[in-house]
Amino acid sequence: MSARAAFLVVDDSRVVRRLARGMLEALGFAVSEAEDGARALDACRAAMPDAVLLDWNMPVMDGMGFLRALRADHPSPHPRVILCTTESEIERIVEALEAGADEYIMKPFDAGILADKLRQVGLLPEAA
Ligand SMILES: [Mg+2]
């Protein structure tokens, strides 16, 4: 790939966004951030990313609201959407996958777990 793939990190937590940005930049992605689903939709309309790391619980517009609005015009798998969730929200994963999420990742995650998920959805090459 000549240009770096673009990742949009969507989370209302600045701490989570900063951590995710660090991991993704270390893996070679160009990263932008949005703090809720509505801002994320605006960002996608301005420049569609290759992939979205999506929090569920956010003010203004939550992850599901964003996902449904995005997928109305942009069916899976472009952009790839990886839902970030917690163990207590596990029943929501099915709903999110049905709404067009491509993968999910449990919080808290580390760079290794994230890289594995990115390989699963084809955003990183398989490990040699
Ligand atoms: Mg949140």
Provide CB contacts within 8 A for 110, sequence distance 6+.
23
CATH code for the domain in which residue 91 is found: 3.40.50.2300
Q: How many whole angstroms from 14 Cα to the centroid of ligand 1? A: 10
Q: CB burial class (10 A; 0-12, 13-18, 19+) of residue 93?
A: middle
Q: How many whole angstroms from 13 Cα to the centroid of ligand 1? A: 6
Average pLDDT, the chain: 93
Q: Is residue 95 part of a domain?
A: yes
Q: How many whole angstroms from 64 Cα to the centroid of ligand 1? A: 12
Q: How many whole angstroms from 127 Cα to the centroid of ligand 1? A: 31
Q: How many whole angstroms from 124 Cα to the centroid of ligand 1? A: 26
Q: Which of residues 87 and 59 earns the better pLDDT score?
A: 59
- Predicted TM-score (pTM) of the model is 0.94
* Per-residue tokens: 50: 């290759």
Q: Is residue 83 part of a domain?
A: yes
Q: Is residue 125 part of a domain?
A: no
pLDDT at 2 over 60: no
Question: What is the total count of domains within the chain?
Answer: 1
Q: How many whole angstroms from 3 Cα to the centroid of ligand 1? A: 30
pLDDT above 90 as % of the chain: 84
Q: Is residue 48 part of a domain?
A: yes
Q: How many whole angstroms from 61 Cα to the centroid of ligand 1? A: 11
pLDDT band at 109 (very low <50, low <70, confident <90, very high): very high
* Residue 93: alpha-carbon gap to chain centroid: 14
pLDDT value of residue 112: 95
The CA distance from 94 to 88, in Å, is 13
Provide CB contacts within 8 A for 123, sequence distance 6+.
5, 50, 51, 80
Q: Is residue 106 part of a domain?
A: yes
> What is the domain range of residue 90?
6-119
Q: Is residue 87 part of a domain?
A: yes
In tens, the pLDDT along 5-26 reads 999 999 999 999 999 999 999 9
Q: Is residue 1 part of a domain?
A: no
pLDDT at 1 over 70: no
